[in-house]
């Protein structure tokens, strides 16, 4: 096999496994997931979802996309839940996050919420609550069908009668990022800061808020993770799939971050960084001379590879952090 070609010789190349990283912090994970495949509110991961009032319970329907008369997901009929428009602020569903305090505070300050949803034409053009933290942080679609949160600007667009994968990734000490079908559409500073209104004590409420911004819709999968997922990871999830939101690692490598983006020593001559390391479709195809590994995880878990070298025409030093879905070893 020919090695990957690159116009520089790597200076440092280190493989870090999650087993090594676990010595410094607890590995983040999916702590709650609900897929509605069994026709109820039972959890795929974590605790079962709960109805918050009788109106929500009586108005909820379970069935296939075909039976409920909505579009299939990626061309396939699959089980989903229809949620109702409710008349009071006490409706909707309660979902326990299953996560512990993080981010340096007393509450959950770093997390991601992902959901596959469809709103019919009758619900479009209206404010629709997506979820609210138990500290009062409100995430919703506005009357222009764009995504936003309380105190934030807008991004993206929800097309009526179309399944979309919505994701909010949150760090209360930095930013809230919004994604539609894997594409980032907005990112802003988080209002309230550490342990503020956008933190989570124990869970979130879905599809209703204090202003009764509730509309009829359909949901196929909801996931809560106790970390602010990277842009690359959300992008790897893409749009809705019949099987729901993936709970394991992605099938292919994805870039977490690249730095620096320019050479500050030569600002007039700097150009955007162009990583020259092209990752193959399978980790096992990586040539043995491109990395060394002295430790192998006992079970396949996501790993990280860090490369320090010279990457652009100005020969700046940079590093590329790329996450691989499976254990890697020379072939």
d(CA 212, CA 256): 38
Contacts of 294 (CB under 8 A, 6+ apart): none
Tens digit of each residue's pLDDT (9 = 90 or more) over 39-63: 999 999 999 999 999 999 999 999 9
Q: pTM for the full model?
A: 0.75
CA distances from 10 to 5, 128, 221, 256, 274 (A): 11, 50, 42, 19, 15
Q: Quick one: which H or E segment has residue 96?
A: strand 93-96
Q: Are strands 30-34 and 217-225 parallel, antiparallel or unpaired?
A: antiparallel
Count of C-beta atoms within a 10 Å radius of residue 3: 10
Q: Is the pLDDT of residue 73 over 70?
A: yes
Tens digit of each residue's pLDDT (9 = 90 or more) over 261-279: 555 554 544 444 444 333 4
Contact (CB, 8 A) for 4 and 276: no
Nearest to 34 by CA among 135, 123, 114: 114
Ramachandran angles phi, psi of 48, nearest 5°: -60, 145
Give me the mean pLDDT over the 62-91 stretch: 97
In a 3-state reduction of DSSP, which class is residue 226? coil
Ordered by where they begin, the domains of the chain are 12-23+251-324 (no CATH), 36-237 (2.60.120.200)
Ramachandran angles phi, psi of 11, nearest 5°: -90, -45
């Amino acid at each position: 096999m020919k090695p990957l070609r690159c116009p520089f010789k790597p200076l440092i190349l280190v493989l870090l496994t999650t087993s090594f990283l676990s010595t410094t912090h607890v590995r983040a994970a999916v702590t709650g997931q609900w897929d509605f495949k069994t026709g109820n509110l039972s959890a795929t991961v974590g605790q079962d979802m709960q109805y918050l009032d009788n109106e929500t319970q009586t108005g909820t329907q379970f069935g296939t996309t075909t039976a409920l008369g909505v579009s299939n997901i990626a061309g396939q009929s699959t089980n989903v839940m229809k949620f109702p428009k409710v008349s009071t602020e006490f409706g909707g569903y309660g979902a326990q996050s299953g996560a512990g305090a993080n981010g340096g505070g007393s509450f959950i300050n770093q997390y991601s919420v992902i959901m596959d949803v469809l709103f019919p034409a009758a619900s479009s053009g209206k404010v629709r609550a997506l979820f609210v933290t138990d500290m009062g942080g409100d995430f919703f679609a506005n009357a222009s069908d764009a995504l936003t949160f309380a105190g934030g600007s807008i991004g993206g667009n929800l097309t009526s009668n179309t399944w979309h994968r919505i994701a909010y990734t949150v760090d209360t000490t930095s930013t809230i990022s919004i994604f539609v079908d894997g594409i980032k559409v907005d990112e802003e500073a988080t209002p309230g800061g550490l342990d503020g209104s956008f933190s989570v004590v124990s869970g979130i409420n879905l599809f209703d808020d204090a202003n009764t911004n509730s509309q009829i819709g359909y949901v196929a999968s909801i996931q809560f993770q106790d970390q602010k997922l990277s842009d690359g990871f959300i992008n790897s999830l893409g749009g809705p799939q019949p099987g729901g939101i993936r709970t394991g690692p992605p099938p292919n490598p994805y870039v977490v971050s690249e730095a620096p983006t320019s050479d500050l020593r030569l600002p007039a001559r700097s150009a955007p960084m162009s990583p020259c390391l092209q990752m193959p479709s399978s980790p096992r195809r990586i040539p043995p001379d491109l990395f060394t590994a002295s430790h192998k995880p006992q079970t396949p878990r996501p790993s990280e590879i860090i490369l320090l070298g010279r990457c652009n025409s100005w020969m700046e030093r940079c590093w590329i952090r790329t996450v691989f879905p499976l254990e890697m070893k020379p072939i």
